[in-house]
Chain A
Amino acid sequence: MNKFLTSLLLLLFISCQEKGEAQKNTLWIYTSLYKDTINEITPALKKEFPEVEFKFFQAGSEEIATKVNAEMMSGNVQVDVMISSDRFWYEELEQAGKLLKYISPKAAGIADSLKSSGGFYSTLSLPVMVLCYNKDLINIEMLPKTFKDLANSKYKNLFTTGDPLASGTNFTTMAMLQHHYGWDYFKNLKNNNTIGQGGNSSVLRRIQNGERPIGWVLLENVLRFQDKDKRLKVIYPKDGVVTNNNIIAISKDTGNADLAKRFVDFMYGKVGQQQMVKSFMYSPIPGFAAPKGAPEFSFVLKNSFPWTREFLSSVRDSRMELKEKYTEIMFQ
Chain B
Amino acid sequence: MRLSFRINFFLIFICGAVVALSFSPFFSLFKQVVVASNPSVLKKVFSSSSTILAIKTTLIVSLTTVLLSTLIAIPLGWIFSRSDLKGRESWKTLFSLPYAIPPYIGAIAWIMLANPTNGILNNLFGLSFNIYTLTGLIWVMSSFFYTFILLNITNLLSQMDPSLEEAARLSGAGPFRVFREITLPLIRPGLISGMVLVFLSSSASFGVPALIGGPGRIFLLTTKIYTYQKMGSFMGINYASILSIVLFFVAIISLVINSFLLRKNSFGVVSGKSSRANLFALKKKAPLIQVILFIGLFVLLILPIFGILLSALAKVQGVVSLNNLTFQNFYKVFFEISEFSVAVKNSLMVASAVASLSVLVGFFVVYAQQKTRIKFLKMTDLFISLPYATPGTVLSLALILAFSGRIFGIISLYNTIALIGIAYFIKYLSFSVRALQSSIVQIDNSLLEAAQVSGAGFIKRIFSIWLPLLKPALISSWFLVFMPCVSELTMTILLTGPGLETLGTLLFQLQNYGDASGGGAAVLGLIIITMVLFINYFVKFISKGKYGL
Question: CB within 8 Å of B: which residues of A?
Answer: 1-2, 5, 8-9, 12-13, 15-18, 20, 34-36, 39, 55-63, 65-67, 69-76, 78, 86, 88-89, 92, 96, 157, 163, 165-166, 190, 193, 195-199, 201-202, 204-205, 208-212, 220-221, 224-225, 228-229, 231, 319-320, 323-324, 327-328, 330-332
Contact = CB atoms under 8 A, between A and B. Distances in A.
A211 B115 contact: yes
Interface string B219-244: 10001101101111111110000000
Contacts, number: 188
Contact of B412 (A76, A88, A196): A76
A219 to B, nearest CB: 13
Nearest to B411: A20
Interface of B: 10, 14, 28, 32, 50, 53, 111-112, 115, 117-118, 210-211, 214-215, 217-219, 223-224, 226-227, 229-237, 316-318, 338, 350, 353, 356-357, 360-361, 393, 397, 400-401, 404-405, 410-412, 414-418, 421, 459, 462, 493-494, 496-499, 509, 511-518
A66 B317 contact: no
Most buried by A among B112, B215, B514: B514
Given A55-B497, A209-B118, A211-B118, A78 B317 contact: no
A228 B513 contact: no
B230 A199 contact: no
Given A69-B237, A209-B112, A201 B211 contact: no
A210 B314 CA distance: 14
Nearest to B346: A16
B416 A66 contact: no
Contacts of B411: 13, 17, 20
Contacts of A157: 117
Contact of B227 (A73, A165, A202): A165
A75 B213 CA distance: 36
A12 B494 contact: no
A67 B494 contact: yes
Contacts of A220: 514
Contact of B232 (A56, A69, A198): A69
Contacts of B215: 193, 195, 197
A318 B236 CA distance: 12
A324 B231 CA distance: 9
B353 A57 contact: no
A34 B418 contact: no
B514 A208 contact: no
Nearest to B338: A39
Contacts of B235: 320
Contacts of A73: 32, 234, 237, 401
Contacts of A60: 512
Given A66-B229, A74-B401, A201 B515 contact: yes
